[in-house]
A and B are shown apart, each in its own frame.
Chain A
Amino acid sequence: MAYEALDFYDVDSLLTEEERMVRDMVRDWVDEEVIPNIEIACREGVFPDEWRVALGEMGVLGAPLKGYDCPGLSYTAYGVICRELERGDSGLRSFASVQGSLAMYPIWDFGSEEQKNHYLPKMASGEWIGCFGLTEPDYGSNPGDMITKAEDMGDHYLLNGAKMWITNGSIAELAVVWAKLDGVIRGFIVEKNDPGFSAPEMKGKHSLKASVTSELVFQDCKIPKDRMLPGVKGLRGPFSCLNNARYGISWGALGSAQACFDSAKDYAMSRIQFDHPIASYQLVQNKLSWMLREITKGQLLAYHLGQKKDSGDWIPEHISLAKMNNVDIALEIARVARDIHGANGILDEYPIMRHMANLESVKTYEGTHDIHNLIIGRHITGIQAFTREA
């Protein structure tokens, strides 16, 4: 059966024709190439290279960026792309988020003209994969206290430190790394063959198994002077990137939720217990009805936020709310869907357990659920509650 996306309020009718065509293109690709292969990719713990090539050929990487051979789509289209990719798998959407929002975006916004011309066309085509180094082993929610530092050695910079939980790290051609230069956070482009740089893969994940996660290690890593991003200083740099990635996640999580709903609905309609389909029982209907309710609210949130991103009338707190809410409901929907599937819900014949395990990561990365609550709490009260010190 063709995938019929749950769209109770017909929110997709608000998309432009171009946005709908992009949606259909990505949706068809996910149906034909991703869903039939995702479980094998997870078992083997690899991100299939064909997917990198296909994303480049479709031209969706760095979706909302303009110029330098980037797609130049709307932020709404970028959201729709994330949603369709994440219906396949959160690891696939993570790849696209990191490439577009975390690696291409900082070069596009804060890079020199030479850096933009050099890196962006090859990243948009998928030829070069990028990654983003902010989080450190001891500094996750609190990146401002990062240890990684850069020293100006006259004719080059020397980087020392380590980054952790870096999506695409081991397969990346380049990393956008945030490090302190004289105590100020700056962005640096590190290429995979730079001396003193290594990116060992982190193994043993029970989540995002079809996505590569790595450490980035800098031991007297020597990089040329022209690799610093000239256009930004301080946490504003990495946070601007995160705003865009988090925005994409607020759509992406709905893709996972829709996949879980779709599977739960089909299963409930065909699973017979006590002589009737379990979908005919009130407790199951209550669960399906709750899923539809939360997905519909999440869709309206994501669409409206997309319009605000496109008009420029947004604040980071708007994004925090959508990321936090939509990932939260997606994870809960995955759990309830697993419940409806009974024991079958744990098998990889159904996408449920995979989405659930993925969403546990999505809830934590790109600003944990709790941190987004604190961001909104600060917005409401004017009082920051991240740290004890005022």
Chain B
Amino acid sequence: MNITVLLKQVPDTTAKITISGGKVDENSVSKWSMSPYDEYALESGLQLKEKTGGNLVAITCGPERTKKMLTDAAAVGADTLVHISNDGVTDSTHVQKLLAAAVRRFDSQIVLCGKQAADTNSGSTGPGVAELIDAACVTLVTEVNYSEGKFSTIRPSNSGTEKVAVDGLSVFAFDKGTHELRRPNVRGIMMAKKKQVESITSGDLGVVLDSSNVTLNSQNPPPEKPAGQKFEGAEHVNEVVSKLRNEANVI
């Protein structure tokens, strides 16, 4: 069984972000990492592969630098590495089209991805790709299991968790999973070094990137936190209680 995992490289969640000309300055990002929810998708894919056998295909769409993330995925066990050039890509519908075409090409029964990327947080990849490949889609899952041709998955519900079973081609978008993420090791790194990244373009996939109807106008850093306030003495009790109740909304 081919298991496909869709991965995105994002600025590390601890990296400093700078805005230049109304856009995030990618050149100033000190560390790029695999998006955290994608890591859970990958981990789950690796565990499925260990149980069912098969080939784990890791696909990303992005600039050259994203190939490094695929090699990182290989170091923990990804078998086939596919890099789709993001030349001409202007919005997430383009990314979905390219990923969907790549998924079809590798004939996977199951596609795993993060519920949202840590940079854009739009959460559109899983449902978007599912729509294009005509697959079932379950979002916010924490676990995926396979038995007798069916996938079953755990996701949160209003009253706890629910178990959802799906037949056939399925896309699962991962929340923070229940499995501990594995670390690479030297042996994995040495194997990964030997694995080739297959580079393909929109042309290779036969995808036409038509004009986009989404424009990103500007990006802004979050507002700075206001300075803390300090109160001393019993005479401030009423004021503090009022602030906690009405401003901080904590009591």
Write the residues of chain A forming the contact surface with B, with a CB cutoff of 8 angstroms.
1-2, 4, 17-18, 21-22, 25, 28-29, 54, 57-60, 63, 71-73
Which residues of chain B in 179-215 are interfacial with respect to chain A, using CB atoms and an 8 Å cutoff? 183-187, 189-190, 192-193
By beta carbon, the residue of chain A nearest B68 is A17
Smallest distance from the beta carbon of B83 to chain A beta carbons, Å? 15
Given contacts A1-B14, A21-B189, contact A57 B183 (CB under 8 A): yes
The listed residue (B12, B31, B193) touching A18 by CB distance below 8 A is B193
Residues on A with beta carbons closer than 8 Å to the beta carbon of B184: 21, 25, 58
Interface membership of B72, Cβ < 8 A? yes
The listed residue (A1, A2, A17, A58) touching B183 by CB distance below 8 A is A58
Smallest distance from the beta carbon of B9 to chain A beta carbons, Å? 14
Sort A-B residue pairs by CB-CB distance and give the 8 closest, nearest first. Answer: A59-B186, A2-B14, A59-B185, A71-B186, A21-B189, A58-B185, A18-B193, A25-B184
Smallest distance from the beta carbon of B131 to chain A beta carbons, Å? 36
Interface membership of B15, Cβ < 8 A? yes
Residues on A with beta carbons closer than 8 Å to the beta carbon of B16: 1
* A4 adjacent to B189 (CB under 8 Å): no
Residues on B with beta carbons closer than 8 Å to the beta carbon of A57: 183, 185
Which residues of chain B in 87-137 are interfacial with respect to chain A, using CB atoms and an 8 Å cutoff? none
Smallest distance from the beta carbon of A4 to chain B beta carbons, Å? 5
Distance A150 CA – B236 CA, assembled complex (angstroms): 79
Interface membership of B30, Cβ < 8 A? yes
* B186 adjacent to A2 (CB under 8 Å): no
Which residues of chain B in 144-190 are interfacial with respect to chain A, using CB atoms and an 8 Å cutoff? 183-187, 189-190
Residues on A with beta carbons closer than 8 Å to the beta carbon of B187: 59, 71
Distance A12 CA – B183 CA, assembled complex (angstroms): 22
* B185 adjacent to A21 (CB under 8 Å): no
Counting chain A CB atoms within 10 Å of each CB, the highest count among B15, B185, B187, B193 belongs to B185
Interface membership of B71, Cβ < 8 A? yes
* A21 adjacent to B192 (CB under 8 Å): yes
Please encode chain B, from 31 to 44, with 1 for each CB lying within 8 Å of some chain A CB and 0 for all others.
Answer: 10000000000000
Residues on B with beta carbons closer than 8 Å to the beta carbon of A59: 185-187
Distance A1 CA – B16 CA, assembled complex (angstroms): 7
Distance A71 CA – B15 CA, assembled complex (angstroms): 31
Distance A301 CA – B116 CA, assembled complex (angstroms): 44
* A2 adjacent to B31 (CB under 8 Å): yes
By beta carbon, the residue of chain A nearest B11 is A2
Distance A28 CA – B75 CA, assembled complex (angstroms): 15
Residues on B with beta carbons closer than 8 Å to the beta carbon of A2: 12, 14-15, 30-31
* A60 adjacent to B15 (CB under 8 Å): no
How many chain B residues touch A (Cβ–Cβ < 8 Å)?
19
Distance A147 CA – B15 CA, assembled complex (angstroms): 55
Distance A18 CA – B75 CA, assembled complex (angstroms): 10
Distance A24 CA – B72 CA, assembled complex (angstroms): 10
By beta carbon, the residue of chain B nearest A57 is B185
Residues on A with beta carbons closer than 8 Å to the beta carbon of B14: 1-2
By beta carbon, the residue of chain B nearest A25 is B184
Enumerate 15 A-B pairs (CB-CB under 8 Å) in ascending A order: A1-B16, A2-B12, A17-B68, A17-B71, A17-B193, A21-B72, A21-B184, A21-B193, A25-B75, A25-B184, A25-B186, A25-B189, A58-B186, A60-B186, A72-B190
Smallest distance from the beta carbon of A221 to chain B beta carbons, Å? 35
Distance A18 CA – B184 CA, assembled complex (angstroms): 12
Smallest distance from the beta carbon of B248 to chain A beta carbons, Å? 25
By beta carbon, the residue of chain B nearest A18 is B193
* B189 adjacent to A22 (CB under 8 Å): yes
Smallest distance from the beta carbon of B23 to chain A beta carbons, Å? 21
By beta carbon, the residue of chain B nearest A60 is B186
Distance A314 CA – B15 CA, assembled complex (angstroms): 39
Distance A25 CA – B187 CA, assembled complex (angstroms): 12
Distance A25 CA – B190 CA, assembled complex (angstroms): 13
Please encode chain B, from 45 to 75, with 1 for each CB lying within 8 Å of some chain A CB and 0 for all others.
Answer: 0000000000000000000000010011001
Residues on A with beta carbons closer than 8 Å to the beta carbon of B31: 2, 4
Residues on B with beta carbons closer than 8 Å to the beta carbon of A17: 68, 71, 193
Smallest distance from the beta carbon of A294 to chain B beta carbons, Å? 23
Residues on B with beta carbons closer than 8 Å to the beta carbon of A22: 186, 189
Given contacts A1-B14, A1-B16, contact A18 B185 (CB under 8 A): no
Residues on A with beta carbons closer than 8 Å to the beta carbon of B183: 25, 28-29, 54, 57-58
Counting chain A CB atoms within 10 Å of each CB, the highest count among B14, B72, B186 belongs to B186
Smallest distance from the beta carbon of A12 to chain B beta carbons, Å? 13
Distance A4 CA – B30 CA, assembled complex (angstroms): 8
Distance A58 CA – B16 CA, assembled complex (angstroms): 28
Residues on B with beta carbons closer than 8 Å to the beta carbon of A28: 183
Smallest distance from the beta carbon of B39 to chain A beta carbons, Å? 12
* A25 adjacent to B185 (CB under 8 Å): yes
Smallest distance from the beta carbon of A85 to chain B beta carbons, Å? 14
Residues on B with beta carbons closer than 8 Å to the beta carbon of A21: 71-72, 75, 184, 189, 192-193
By beta carbon, the residue of chain A nearest B188 is A59
Distance A328 CA – B72 CA, assembled complex (angstroms): 36
Smallest distance from the beta carbon of A67 to chain B beta carbons, Å? 14
* A73 adjacent to B30 (CB under 8 Å): no
Distance A59 CA – B12 CA, assembled complex (angstroms): 25
By beta carbon, the residue of chain A nearest B184 is A25
Residues on A with beta carbons closer than 8 Å to the beta carbon of B189: 18, 21-22, 25
